[in-house]
Amino acid sequence: MTLTKQEKQALIDLANTARQRAYAPYSNYPVGAALRTKTGRIFTGVNVENAAYPQTMCAERVAIFKAVSEGEKEFEVIAIATNNGGSPCGGCRQVMAEFGLDTLVLMADGNGKLIKQTTVKELLPEAFTPEQLGKQVNK
């Protein structure tokens, strides 16, 4: 899959727009995500923090869960926007791995600048996948 510079920037811009809706009163670290599926649909997500910290949900997982709830399970690319171009947490990496190690991951800062481009496989080498359970999952 090859994305044009304009396509990447459009996803980054959507992630940054979504980031403005994040609920991050504790960390003050708003995160936005924009996920494009293989059918071309786009789902956004934001981090939603909670006073009981473990109940917080990351933007990447919100976008993925929205997509799955709408019947989408095959992803091409996810753009993640933070103040400083931060990387997805381990939990998000594992959830992304469930739906495809080849998914492109774009990390951008709050100014819309692409900081890093990678894949889920590069972010989570030796990922635990359904195949390790001896299962073939119909996605």
For residue 120, the SS3 value is helix
Ordered alpha helix ranges (H), 40-104 = 59-69, 90-98
Residues with a catalytic annotation lie at: 60
- Amino acid (one-letter) located at 103: T
Eight-state DSSP code of residue 30: -
Task: Tell me the C-alpha distance between 61 and 8, whole Å.
Answer: 20
For residue 123, the SS3 value is helix
**Contact between 110 and 20 (Cβ < 8 Å):** no
Handedness of CA 109, 113, 115, 120 (dihedral sign): positive
Task: Tell me the C-alpha distance between 126 and 48, whole Å.
Answer: 29
